[in-house]
Amino acid sequence: MTENEEASSRHSFLTYLSFGTYNILWTIPTASMSLFMFFFYHTVVGLEAGWILTVVFINTIWAGLNDPLIGWLTDRNFKWTRKWGRRFPWIAIAFIPEALSLIMIFSPPDLPKNIDNVLINPLPVMLWLLLSLFVFDLFATLVDVHTAILRADKFRTEAERRKGAGSWGFFDMIAQVLGMMLPPLLLFFGATILSYTVMAAIIALIAIIFGILFVLKGAREDKIIIDRYYSRDYERVHVLKGVWLVLKQKSFMALFAHYVLWLAATASIMTGMIAYLVTFIFQSNDPDAMIPFLALFLLGSLISIPVWLKILKKMKNNKKTYIIGSLLLVVLTVPLTFFQGDISLMIIIFLVGFGNGCVWTIGMPVLYSNAQDDFVVRTGKNQKGIMVGTWAVIGLATAFIDEALITLVFALTGFNAGIEDYAALVASGADVVLVEWGIRFLLGVIPALLILTGTLIFWKYYPLTQEKVLENKAKLLELGF
């Protein structure tokens, strides 16, 4: 592939814009869940942290089987493929149920009037949460698997992927703003089930609106993409063999490990702790008090996008830029545990957001697409569904890691379920100082250690140098992909 070809793009600005709106569809529900799902079931519904972890563990095991299977089953040409494409139909079918299932998660039925009943008999609430997560994961996987594959198929050159990264990062920031800042504003009825149900319904409606904008243009496959699906005749990879090939691929597994630990640290633990921080350290019962901290984190990330893209373009080394950004994020995250007041916390959170922007901007749009190319070159088959289906487990693995760590810390510090505010914490007889330090460590030191671990794994095992990336693109042309 020539330098001119690498610098060119056949897509319009509107295409990049429309494709970026997918982030609103995906990130708003998942951000809302990261922010409030554990807090909701732990403090409002009254489900012990260990039971929440049990549900998430079962769902993770199910997803480990379900998600790669969905990717494998749907990654083929159907009778409608020639007209509608291989990815678009599944996205169009699943995006509305995906959004609506968020309402199900935040609407556990027949809740007892007394929260103590949940502590005595948690099974009904546990089963509802498990069923809700099953439904959400099914439709989210259908949408996310095919969007991830389409991104790599649609944006082929490094220039296209950098442009896509800019649009992707921008809309992801907007989605995080909406997903993190809207929910606290939408809790109209206080710490009640009804508040969270209404919040989920409004978030779902917003996701559907932007999902429609995504499917109108960004999710469409043109003739060039569709022709690639018919470019060669080949036998499909067997599902078990395909999973084994994915697990053997260093580029995928190294990136997967980093991304799982980064998401667990930032999008799950740190984000989830904001509600606990405001409620139990700043002793506020107003959910709106979370907004300044979330806003500064997102502002730092948003400002950093063009900076990291400029650094990436200048360095022309995806791996090196990613490692630098990840290590910077580690250094900036540790002080979150030791902040001395709201002003110092705001400054630290802004800087953490700036460091976070690197991983946010480069990981999915650039490195993940390069790993997909590597898989196709290695197998000689344009069948990435099983790989992306395996990647879809990332969200569940993330949820399990973060909730396992939260459960462990809460158990060690004596923080029990059903404690809704600071006054209730004091009245419970718990060691308040110990509980507060547990929240602080979950906010800073523990996430930093997770990110550092992932960064070291990525540095050691990710094999795709810039030369290898361009070599893979040349081989894709030879294969007709």
Q: What is the pLDDT of residues 412-430, one digit of tens each?
A: 999 887 788 888 899 988 8
pLDDT > 50? residue 135: yes
Residue 391, judged by CB atoms within 10 A of its CB (0-12, 13-18, 19+), counts as buried
In a domain? residue 175: yes
Q: Is residue 238 part of a domain?
A: no
- pLDDT score of 98: 93
pLDDT digits (tens, 9 = 90+) for 140-191: 888 988 888 888 788 877 677 777 766 766 777 777 777 777 888 888 777 7
- C-alpha 49/C-alpha 35 separation (Å) is 15
Mean pLDDT computed over every residue of the chain = 83
Q: Residue 279: what residue type?
A: T
DSSP secondary structure, 382-432, as one string? ---HHHHHHHTTHHHHHHHHHHHHHHHHHHHHT--TT--SHHHHHHTT--H
pLDDT digits (tens, 9 = 90+) for 269-304: 887 788 889 889 998 887 778 788 878 887 888 788
Q: Does residue 262 lie within any of the structural domains? A: yes
Mean pLDDT of 436-450: 95
* Residue 284 is assigned to a structural domain of this protein: yes
Q: What share of the chain is helix, strand, coil (3-state, %, to 5)?
A: 80, 0, 20
Compute the distance between CA of residue 380 and CA of residue 433 in angstroms, rounded to an integer: 58
Percent of the chain with pLDDT over 70: 88
Q: Which residue has the higher pLDDT, 182 or 346?
A: 346
Say which residues have a Cβ less than 8 Å from residue 115's Cβ, sequence separation at least 6. Answer: 45, 46, 418
Closest CA to 467 of 388, 370, 381: 370
Residue 190 lies in a domain: yes
Q: Is residue 181 part of a domain?
A: yes
Cα 8 off chain centre by: 30
Residue (of 165, 105, 156) closest to 130 by Cα position = 105
- Which domain covers residue 168, as residue numbers? 14-221+248-479
Quick one: pLDDT band at residue 393, thresholds 50, 70, 90?
low
Tell me how crowded residue 314 is: count the other CB atoms within 10 A of its CB. 9
Separation of alpha carbons 216 and 194, rounded Å: 33
Structure tokens at 119: 């502590």
Comparing 40-44, 176-180, 208-212, 309-313, the range with the smallest average pLDDT is 176-180
CATH number at residue 253: 1.20.1250.20
pTM of the model: 0.69
Cα-to-chain-centroid distance, residue 362? 14
Q: What is the mean pLDDT of residues 103-127?
A: 73
Q: What is the DSSP string of 33-96?
A: HHHHHHHIIIIIS---HHHHHHHHHHHHHHHHHHHHHHHHHHSS--TTHHHH-SSHHHHHHHHH
User: Residue 171: inside a domain, yes or no?
Assistant: yes
Mean pLDDT, residues 221-239 taken together: 73
Whether residue 5 lies inside any domain: the answer is: no
- pLDDT for 22 equals 85
* Overall domain count for the chain: 1
CB 70 within 8 A of CB 389: yes
Confidence of residue 437 (pLDDT cuts 50, 70, 90): very high
